[in-house]
Structure 1
Amino acid sequence: MAQSKLAVVTGASGGIGAAIALQLSNAGWRCLLLGRSEEKLSQLQQQLGDQHQYLAIDLVQTQSHRKVVSQAQAMGTASLLVNCAGSNEMRAFQDISPERIMQQLTLNLHVPMLLTQHLMEQLIQSMGTVINVGSAFGYIGYPYQSVYCASKFGLRGFSEALSRELDGHVNVKYFAPRATNTHLNNDDVRSLNKALGNKVDSPERVAKEFMQLLNSSKRRWVVGFPEKLFARVNGLLPELVDSAIIKQLKTIRNYIRCQFNTKESSS
């Protein structure tokens, strides 16, 4: 009996990554689960079954990528790489330290690029697929999300360029969820989304849309409406999106001010 295909999933100890791994398992994939929390990865692996394995590693440390390549090869060669690990911090740009800027850019952009490069030989051999999990903010520049947007715009550009470069050898796709109910969004962010009228998806809903992208010939996928429309309009007539977002600035600034004052009073 032929062995089922292998998917390497980063950020598998988080909400979206774990939900994607569950959907892949249900569809017959074996998963190599990557993340920093051994406890969460172990729990997920037990839920999925013995055919799945995990590595508790920090992908920011580039030497860890060789461990991923070696483990994937031992499991029978990667046919899918899901770059899902990421971080976000909603702050005024001038208040973000240089160290935090580098940390976000490294995890959100550099890690997916380098891990893709390290696994490229296996992906070419299997004529596999890379899906980079970005964000609707990879299409739409959003206030107080400057570093996050920069990283996701970069990831989208990388995905598009590599997709065209490897056409016919490896499929490269960009998946863009909107606001999702995960640990990256604390109670304050949830309150802001509610105040702005933003729709928030469950990780399970996002994972189901991920599977639709995986099983389609599409190279890009934005989750939800009106985000899908905004992404298109922003590419054609960004001035219209400028006006819509600027109307939200007062609410966003009040949130940022309250968040800052709360941190100051608790320090």
Structure 2
Amino acid sequence: MEFDLAQLREEAADSLDILFDDAFPEVLAEGTVEELVGLVREACVHFHTQGVTTLLLDGSPQHLFYQLACAAENWRRLLIHLRAQGASLPPASDNASLLGAVAGGYWELARDLCRVSASQQGEEEYEDEFAWARLLQEFIALPEGGSPSEVWLHPHEGALAKSQADRWEWFQALLSGDGGRFLAALERVLQQHSAETEAEAVRWGTSPEQFVAYRFIWFEGLAMLRLAERRGMKVEAPLLYCPPLARVPMKMAYDGDWALSFGAAPG
């Protein structure tokens, strides 16, 4: 599959204009919860697309990070709105926006997202997917330098140790602070991600608009690398889908721009 990155970036920007001006007010007023969640998820994909394509076209990591923050803030506002309405939340594993916030280095925003994200397994969510997502939520929400207790880790081990053994080892390596062990585990998970990504790239029906942001950038990998940095590890090895430009420090603070209004002050 070939991608016209400039065209996809332009289409994402145009789609966001329409979504903010027309589609969102209508769905917020008259749509279902499912329609609202789908629309905000679509907005997040457009923000991710703008950020990734600009990184690839212009070599601008700060623009990537800012767009990741835009997506995360809109997802956060959606979750707060759903909680206020007593509506069902998206599954914890629907966490691209959280991973993006961590990858961009927006720690306060990431912790806020953890606070309002789903903490119970969804009806259609696999146990291991929920366990991994919840493990990351709980770890990201810790204060800098904090470490989870064995009691805190135990509920997740059973779900992850067999079906997600490489990710479980990856997380154990993160806790250990052993950079070599962390890199070895990361590379095993990266092999899985690469196989899945390359298969998706040639699958009939894959939408370039929905896929381009995740075709070239591995949000989960970048997020775990940021978490490793905070544990004092320096992982400098070249990694597919984790380009060096996407691993530089964040210097552009998010100012709340491009945030959907749900009719109440954001929490």
- Which of the five TM-score ranges fits, normalised by the shorter chain? 0.3 to 0.5
* Larger proportion of strand: 1
The TM-score, its normalising length taken from structure 1, stands at 0.36
Q: Which structure: greater helix fraction?
A: 2
Which structure has more RCO (C-alpha within 8 Å, separation ≥ 6)?
Answer: 2
- TM-score, with structure 2 as normaliser: 0.36
